């Protein structure tokens, strides 16, 4: 990217890309400028620190969409002990994870088979002052066969098939990390694999095993990725992390901890309702949460909890209950005089949109209608959101 194109993209970073492409701009490569503007606009939420480096060049949109966010890349680098180590990122891509690793590791080997991505990454690492990154252009398996001196291997296999459809299972991803396991074990003592948030958590662990830790990582209440860290543990720890705006909540447990926990069940709802964040839901922490936070489960298959006194620090959304009624239009009409509410269904026969239409409610407003099962009965709560999972 030449300086004229870079300056044009920066000056128009808030503009509509399609409109810019209709005009003529002398001395500017519009194709490259459009790609850069799209990247700058995506960076506001996904990689805010990259906005401080005007020389950073963004790859095509699909590579940006597939890249880790700054928040999840930082979580990886901070959670797994990489200080002073030599790590290989076998699926370099845009290089966001490599950038995070480079801040703590001694050396990071960035491996990528796309020559264009390699050229961009090398320029970007230089622009960011990351002198401990070595770029290798080629096939990951072939490079790994000749590599030595590695402490850790990281892989984020591409999760799309040849038709562009999203896939989750390791054997459908590229590269097939399970097939590479024997070679990886010859080269290093630890493997970190980033997997789809849709992966079967325990099936993935059985394919990679033995696994020390499985990290389920959510950002703002939305599950983004699953990380497997191989090791020698007899029983892997499940680490459920939700990265919010002001704090990161982390719950660590084993399957035995969850299975041995004695849940509390509520006969009636208290003043507050709690919904665990997406990481906990994916990780399967349903019984243990009762013991750790002193809350009662609404029903055996209802993953909502209640208490009379608000529990500070509960890892998820918190609602204050204003009223309880039967989930019927007649019963709810007086409780929702404006005829609108955000509808949430948990362990309930209808989806939220179906229930909204059945009740004749518009979406929005400052009230939440939570339809669920409490002690075997179908009920509806009119609530006010006290704290979101994004905080």
- Other CB atoms within 10 Å distance of the CB of residue 301: 10
Residue 31, Cβ density class (10 Å: 0-12 exposed, 13-18 middle, ≥19 buried):
exposed
Q: Is residue 101 part of a domain?
A: no
Q: Is residue 34 part of a domain?
A: yes
Q: What is the pTM of this model?
A: 0.92
pLDDT at 19 over 90: no
How many domains is the chain partitioned into structurally? 1
Q: What is the mean pLDDT of residues 140-151?
A: 95
The answer to whether 191 and 208 are in contact (CB under 8 A) is: yes
| Distance from chain centroid for Cα 297 | 26
Query: What's the distance, Cα to Cα, between the start and end of the chain in Å?
Result: 38
Q: Is residue 32 part of a domain?
A: yes
Domain region containing 23: 3-58
Residue 374 neighbours by CB under 8 Å, 6+ apart: 266, 268, 269, 298, 299, 302
pLDDT 10s digits, 355-365? 999 999 999 88
Q: Is residue 74 part of a domain?
A: no
Q: Is residue 43 part of a domain?
A: yes
pLDDT 10s digits, 66-122? 999 999 999 999 988 899 999 999 999 999 999 999 999 999 999 999 999 999 999
Taking alpha carbons only, the member of 236, 213, 190, 243 closest to residue 68 is 243
Q: Is residue 17 part of a domain?
A: yes
Q: Is residue 316 part of a domain?
A: no
pLDDT 10s digits, 201-247? 999 999 998 999 999 999 988 999 999 999 888 899 999 999 998 88
How far lies 334's CA from each of 169, 252, 366, 369, in Å?
Answer: 49, 43, 16, 13
């Amino acid at each position: 990217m030449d300086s004229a194109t870079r300056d044009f993209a920066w000056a128009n970073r808030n503009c509509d890309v399609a409109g810019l492409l209709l005009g003529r701009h002398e001395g500017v490569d519009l194709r490259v400028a459009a790609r850069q503007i799209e990247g700058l606009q995506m960076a506001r939420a996904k990689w805010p620190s990259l906005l401080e480096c005007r020389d950073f060049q963004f790859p095509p949109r699909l590579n940006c969409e597939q890249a880790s966010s700054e928040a999840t890349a930082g979580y990886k680098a901070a959670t797994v002990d990489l200080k002073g180590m030599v790590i290989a990122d076998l699926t370099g891509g845009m290089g966001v994870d490599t950038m995070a690793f480079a801040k703590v590791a001694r050396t990071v080997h960035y491996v990528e088979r796309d020559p264009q991505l390699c050229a961009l990454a090398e320029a970007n690492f230089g622009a960011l002052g990351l002198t401990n990154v070595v770029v290798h252009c080629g096939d990951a398996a072939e490079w790994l066969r000749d590599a030595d001196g590695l402490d850790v291997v990281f892989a984020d296999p591409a999760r799309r098939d040849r038709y562009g459809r999203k896939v989750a299972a390791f054997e459908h991803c590229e590269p097939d990390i399970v097939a590479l396991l024997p070679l990886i074990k010859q080269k290093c003592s630890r493997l970190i694999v980033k997997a789809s948030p849709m992966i079967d958590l325990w099936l993935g662990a059985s394919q990679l095993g033995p696994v020390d830790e499985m990290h389920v990582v959510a950002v703002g209440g939305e599950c983004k990725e699953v990380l497997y860290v191989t090791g020698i543990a007899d029983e892997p720890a499940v680490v459920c992390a939700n990265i919010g705006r002001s704090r990161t909540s982390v719950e660590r447990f084993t399957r035995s901890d969850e299975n041995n926990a004695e849940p509390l069940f509520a006969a009636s709802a208290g003043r507050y309702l709690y919904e665990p964040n997406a990481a906990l839901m994916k990780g399967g922490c349903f019984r243990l949460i009762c013991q750790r936070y002193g809350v009662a489960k609404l029903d055996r298959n209802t993953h909502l909890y209640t208490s009379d006194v608000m529990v500070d620090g509960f890892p998820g959304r918190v609602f204050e209950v204003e009223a309880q009624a039967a989930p019927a239009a007649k019963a709810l009409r007086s409780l929702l005089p404006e005829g609108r509410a955000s509808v949430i269904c948990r362990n309930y026969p209808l989806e939220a949109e179906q229930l909204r239409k059945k009740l004749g409610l518009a979406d929005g407003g400052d009230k939440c209608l939570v339809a669920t099962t409490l002690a075997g009965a179908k009920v509806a709560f009119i609530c006010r959101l006290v704290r979101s999972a994004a905080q």
